[in-house]
Amino acid sequence: MNEDENAIVVFTARSPERLIREGGSQAWILNPARAKLCTWLVCTQNRHNPNHEFSDATEPHGAGFLLGKISGVHKSPEAGDEDRWIIEISEFARIDYPNLWDHGRNPVRYTSLERLGIDTSTLKWEPIPGRDSEPAPVVATPSAGNSKANVGALTMAEAKKGLALTFNVPPEAIEITIRG
């Protein structure tokens, strides 16, 4: 990842109201380690999917309509999307950038707000209200050939080191949140 790639742009068929209600944008196939290094989620509208079951698009096709501050990247809680991810946001601002989508084939791309011409200082930020559902927990599974998972107590440093190896990122890129 380039150091100046601080934003993920998604091409979504979901409305801003649904994205706000769900607490982010899902169900994407992406590299979660790379996505977690980004600060911003930029949502652009896909209106060419009107009959798909998740489509409730309301904005002009290709327009940038929502900017969010990324708070996490987790497995998508939607049934059947176990290999997909939700990009969660803690705050959002409505934006109006016509033709922001670059017409690329991949509905997820990495860039910077500077390259997109988005100035965050002029935006009205709102907190995300409660979520419809919580992200599905990521459960440790036994490794191949073992009938039981041999997981013992770990220090934070050990957990970060192991996760860094799993996701091929440096340990300092790993953030761990513990909820009691």
* pLDDT for res 124: 95
**22-26, 39-43, 158-162: lowest mean pLDDT where?**
158-162
Split at pLDDT 50, 70, 90, the class of 162 is low
Split at pLDDT 50, 70, 90, the class of 137 is very low
42-76 tens-digit pLDDT: 999 998 865 566 678 888 899 999 999 999 999 98
Q: Measuring CA to CA, how many Å separate 113 from each of 5, 30, 158, 166?
A: 8, 19, 34, 29
* pLDDT for res 167: 66
* pLDDT for res 3: 58
Identify the structural domains of the chain with CATH numbers, from first to last.
Answer: 7-127 (3.10.590), 152-180 (no CATH)
User: Which three-class secondary structure string do you get for the chain?
Assistant: CCCCCCEEEEEECCCHHHHHHHCEEEEECCCHHHHCCCCEEEEEECCCCCCCCCCCCCCCCCCEEEEEEEEEEEECCCCCCCCCEEEEEEEEEEEEECCCCCCCCCCEEEECHHHHCCCHHHCCCEECCCCCCCCCCCCCCCCCCCCCCCCCCCCHHHHHHHHHHHHCCCHHHCCCCCCC
Structure tokens at 40: 């911003």
Tell me the C-alpha distance between 104 and 14, whole Å.
18
Q: Is the pLDDT of residue 80 over 80?
A: no
For residues 111-122, average pLDDT: 94
- The fraction of the chain above a pLDDT of 70, given in percent, is 75
For residues 35-44, average pLDDT: 95
User: What's the mean pLDDT when you consider all of the chain?
Assistant: 81
* pLDDT for res 65: 96
Q: Is the pLDDT of residue 128 over 70?
A: yes
